[in-house]
Amino acid sequence: MMTGEGNKDKPQVTRPSLFLERQSYRRRRLTDAARLLPFLGAALLALPLLWPDQSSGGAAVPLSSATYYIFVCWGALILVGLVFGIAARRIGAREDRDADAE
């Protein structure tokens, strides 16, 4: 007798899903990205330290360009943080609506 034939009479047992719900998965990934944002910002703001200066003998990057770069990175980090905050608020509101519906 084959093992596949005996399984026809037994009811199928459904196992719980190993995956998270879509909303909680998105919220966790958003939280992970927000936690990495300060490290990305530190790396971006430290990048001008690697640029050549007058003492290296190569073509130096002007201080005005480095200052401009730092303020652009600073503004971009603020905007990304704002986007993360808005997205987190929308996900939280959506979860509240879903909880109220149940």
Report the pLDDT value the prediction gives residue 35, as an integer from 0 to 100.
92
Looking at residue 92, what is its pLDDT? 79
Q: Is the pTM of this model over 0.95?
A: no
pLDDT for 36 equals 94
Q: State residue 82's pLDDT score.
A: 95
pLDDT of residue 52: 84
pLDDT in tens, the chain (102 residues): 555 555 566 667 777 666 656 667 788 888 899 999 999 999 999 999 888 877 767 788 888 999 999 999 999 999 999 999 898 888 878 777 776 676
Query: So what's the pLDDT on residue 86?
Result: 92
Which residue pairs, CB below 8 angstroms and at least 24 apart, start in 27-34?
27/88, 27/91, 27/92, 27/95, 30/84, 30/87, 30/88, 30/91, 31/88, 33/84, 34/81, 34/84, 34/88
